[in-house]
Structure 1
Amino acid sequence: MSRAAMQVCRAHGDCFANRGGVCTCLKDNDFGGRDCPFYKPADTVRKGSCRQNGGMVDGNQQI
């Protein structure tokens, strides 16, 4: 995605997706005056991203 297509976001400078005032995740960040529902502080996301099961979720279930 080109930088021109990325959305400027100055609401949460500490968000995991904010890189230099630009949202790197969302194509549209207009939530009708409400706060971004995807906002997560970068330090919180980094701490929670390490999973015990290597990222596998329900890998041994039979369907």
Structure 2
Amino acid sequence: MSRAAMQGCRAHEDCFANRGGVCTCLKDNDFGGRDCPFYKPADTVRKENRGQDGGKFHGNQ
């Protein structure tokens, strides 16, 4: 997906999906004035993923 097609997002700069003010997960981030339901702080995601093997042994086999 090209950077131009990605949605700008300034709501949560610490979100795991926010890269330079651009949402890398959603094509549409207009939630009618409500907060993004997909927001998760990047440090929380890093802590949750620590110790996982990335599907190396349990993934698509």
Tell me the percent identity. 86
Alpha-carbon spacing, 1:54–1:19, altered in 2? closer, same or farther (3 Å)? closer
Secondary structure of the corresponding residue to residue 48 of structure 1: helix
1:20-53 deviations in whole A, cap 9, x for unaligned?
0000000000000000000000000010023668
Residue 3 of structure 1: aligned partner:
3
Larger radius of gyration: 1
Alpha-carbon spacing, 1:5–1:52, altered in 2? closer, same or farther (3 Å)? closer
Gaps of 5+ in 2: none
For 1:7 and 1:54, locate their aligned partners in 2 and report how far apart those are by CA, in whole Å.
Answer: 27
Alpha-carbon spacing, 1:53–1:22, altered in 2? closer, same or farther (3 Å)? closer
Residue 26 of structure 2: aligned partner:
26
Residue 59 of structure 1: aligned partner:
none
Pairs aligned (count): 57
CA RMSD, aligned part only? Answer: 1.8
